[in-house]
Each structure stands twice: as structure tokens, then as C-alpha cells.
Amino acid sequence: MTLTSPIDPKAAQAAGALLAGPAPAKAGKVGMMLINLGTPDGTDFKPMWRYLREFLSDPRVIELNKAIWYPILFGLVLTTRPKKSGANYARIWNREKNESPLRTFTRAQAEKLTQAFGDLPDVVVDWAMRYGNPSTASVAQKLVEQGCDRILSFPLYPQYSATTTATANDQLFRALMKIRRAPAIRSVPPYYDEPVYIEALARSIERHLASLDFAPEVVITSYHGIPKPYSDKGDPYQAHCLETTRLLRQKLGWDEKKLITTFQSRFGAQEWLQPYTDVTVEKLAKDGVKSIAIVNPGFSVDCIETLDEIGREAAETFHHAGGENFAHIPCLNDSAEGMAVIEALARRELSGWV
């Protein structure tokens, strides 16, 4: 005869809970981080020095061996360039908010995207800079503290380059290395050939040209350049830029003489992607072209490279060489067209998470 002990209901419940494990954690919120290149905090020497040091110390941007580059950077570049760059920034500075236009527009994009995501209450939108403030690390930490266990990174560069998109994501992952419970990450891919982007550019160009009192003989798509060796090693940036221009030309119904591609903002002695914007602008004027317009499809918002380098320097070059009518077509910024691009791509990449 076998004697059995009565089963304790509470003990059985506890044993079952142990076997089943802890209750599944509730899915958290989704963070959406718009990441732009960066901006100095001010136009004086010290904030410019800090910004340029961070930017030009990035091995994705300057691929020279540190033993060669750092003596040049700290011995020559950072003793002279902060003052010159500060003067350039001072010309375009948003005095009302005491910040650069890049920061103003990027913040506005995040605010408008938050409004557009009114139907997605579990998505938290924020914005960060790869260099400068608000830093990528601080915004990533803030999103995690707000309960985000997934983050969608949106590098605001239509055309991919290791010097932009890759380094933005590098910085995000460096930040996550210091967070014990790191969130899952997705990154919006390059959108240089997305129909919504091409449509937005075309509409923006047409609207701006319609407001001018002259008709440009040539419209230049000017992209930020990269050193030619980077492209030779496999960076797809040049191909992406050329495809954007081709699709834009197709959308506008223009030929290869009406819409051309150039590259700007070269730095240092090595060869960069060509044709160069400044050289092209001067040649057009000397060849008898009297009216041109320049658009910057590689920049999501207006910044020092568009407002000052193109809006001032390129205009002066054109006029000094004999040109008469010059127009700079604004970037998409936080316009209706620009926000349509960001929202469409963000919603697509959030699929499955929300």
C-alpha cells in the first residue's frame, strides 16, 4: 500500500511558475532618431575649434594615418580654420535662436514628424548630430530612458557615403556599447532614387524657378564632394549622386545640358570628385552663360555649405566671371515636400515594429 501526501495547491502553482519562467516583458516604445551631420555651438574660436576637432578627427572623414594627419590638424588646421569658418558661420547664423540653420531645420523636421505620427503614440521622435550637440549618445540614452527598446536611425543623407551615413551609424553603435540593455536598431537606407524623394526635389525646383524673374539656362545639381581615392576604393556616393541627377532630369523633362552635376566643398591637396562646382560656375560665365541656378540634392537642410558656399561664394564667382542672374534653390528643409519624404520612408522602415 502506497501512501501519498495531499497536494498543496499553492506549492503546485509556484512550481508551475518556475517551470514557465518569468512573464514575457511588454514591448516598449520605438525611438525614431533623425541624425544630421553636425554644427558648432557658436561662431567664436573655441566652439568652432571643438566642432572642427571632432569632425576632422573622424577616420571616416580623413583616412590619413594619424601620425601624418594629427600634426597637420593640430598644428595648422585648428590654429587657422576656426576663425575663418567662424566668420562664414556668422553670416548665416540664426540670431533669434542663436544657432546654425542646420540645427534649426533639423529640430523643425523632428517636431513636424512628431505631429505627423499622431496615429503612432508609441513612437518617440528625436534628433541628434553626429558632431556637436545634441550628441548622438545623449539622444540615444534619452530614448532608452523613455522606454524605447527599438530605435530607427534616420541618417539624413539621401546618397550613401562612408563619410556620412556610415559614420552616423558608427556613432550610434558606439553609444549603445555603453548601454547595458541596448535597444534593437534599424537604419533607414539611402534614398537617392526613391520616387518620393525625386518627386519632392522636382516640385521644389519647379516652384522656386517659377518665382524668379529670369529663366536659368543651366541648373546645377551640386553635391558635397569626397576625395576621389574614397570613391576608387568602393564608396558608392558618386554613383548615387549621378543617379539622383539622372532621375531628376527625367522627372523634369530636361536634357543633359540643362541639368548638370558638380561637386563642391573640397578640402586639402588631394583630388576630389569632379567636375568641381566653383570651376564649373566660372567656366559657364566665361562661356557666355548669363543665368544659372544651383540646387543641393545631397543636403536635407540648408547649412554652411549651401547658404554660404553656394549662396554667397558661388554667386560671387559667377558674377565676377561675367554672369548676370544667379539663384540658389533652397534645400527641402522642413517644407511639405521635404516632410513627405521623411514621413514616407520612416513609416516604411517602421513596418513590423508599429
- Please state, as a whole number, how many other Cβ atoms lie within 10 Å of the Cβ of residue 68: 10
Q: Residue 105 is inside which H or E element, if any?
A: helix 101-116
Q: How far apart are CA 9 and CA 259, in angstroms?
A: 80
305 annotated to bind ligand:
yes
In order of 120, 279, 300, the CA distances from 125 in angstroms are 11, 41, 17
202 Cβ neighbours under 8 A, 6+ residues apart: 248, 251, 252
Q: With contact defined as beta carbons under 8 Å apart, do 178 and 138 qualify? A: no
In order of 64, 69, 74, 333, the CA distances from 57 in angstroms are 10, 9, 10, 28
Q: Is 63 exposed, middle or buried (0-12, 13-18, 19+ CB in 10 A)?
A: middle
Looking only at Cα atoms, what is the longest distance across the chain? 114
Q: What angle do CA 246, 271, 300 make, to 5 degrees?
A: 45
- Please state, as a whole number, how many other Cβ atoms lie within 10 Å of the Cβ of residue 233: 10
63 annotated to bind ligand:
no
Residues of the binding site for Fe(2+): 224, 305
Residues of the binding site: 224, 305
